[in-house]
């Protein structure tokens, strides 16, 4: 991924276990709407235990992009995406994923300011 050539102080393990555990609690709760949503997320994830167990290979984020997006959807509310500046990232890496709409807009504008010729070519 181009990120593995740096020396880092920590060994990383990407896992969505904490969020999935919260969905398990919601699934067993009294709110039927939240329980249905939790069941949907847990069902989508159950084919990919590596998302709960944890992984180091950043390529798996791209491979499981749809499921990860579903797991993170409640944390990255589409309703607030135009206003909130949010992104999932890994500390000490030049790598992020699941950016909010607002973050994408700002990143595009920043790219236009820093490198206008490249940005114009990329945006077409």
- Per-residue pLDDT at 8: 67
Nearest-angstrom CA–CA distance, 34 and 47: 21
Beta carbons of 26 and 35 less than 8 angstroms apart: yes
Q: What is the pLDDT along the chain (124 residues), one digit of tens a residue?
A: 445 556 767 778 899 999 999 999 999 999 999 999 999 999 999 999 999 999 999 899 999 999 999 999 999 888 887 888 888 888 777 778 888 888 888 888 776 555 555 444 444 4
CB 99 within 8 A of CB 107: yes
Distance of CA 17 to the CA centre of its chain: 13
pTM to 2 decimals? 0.77
- Per the CB < 8 A criterion, the answer to whether 26 and 34 are in contact is yes
DSSP letters, the chain, are ---TTS--SS---B--HHHHHHHHHHHTSS-HHHHHHHHHHHHHHTT-THHHH-B--THHHHHTHHHHHHHHTTTS-TTTTTT----EE-TTSS-EES--HHHHHHHHHHHHHH-HHHHHHHH-
What pLDDT score does 52 carry?
96
Sorted by where each begins, the domain ranges of the chain are: 9-75, 78-124
pLDDT at residue 4 in the model: 55
């Amino acid at each position: 991924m181009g990120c593995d050539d740096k020396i880092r102080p920590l060994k990383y393990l990407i896992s969505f276990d904490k969020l999935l555990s919260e969905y398990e609690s919601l699934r067993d709760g009294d709110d039927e709407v939240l329980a249905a949503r939790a069941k949907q997320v847990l069902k989508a994830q159950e084919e990919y235990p590596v998302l709960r167990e944890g992984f180091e290979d950043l390529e798996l984020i791209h491979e499981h992009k749809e499921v990860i997006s579903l797991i993170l959807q409640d944390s990255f509310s589409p309703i607030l995406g135009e206003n909130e500046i949010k992104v999932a990232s890994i500390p000490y890496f030049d790598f992020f994923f699941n950016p909010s709409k607002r973050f994408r807009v700002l990143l595009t504008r920043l790219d236009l300011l820093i490198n206008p010729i490249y940005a114009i070519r990329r945006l077409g």
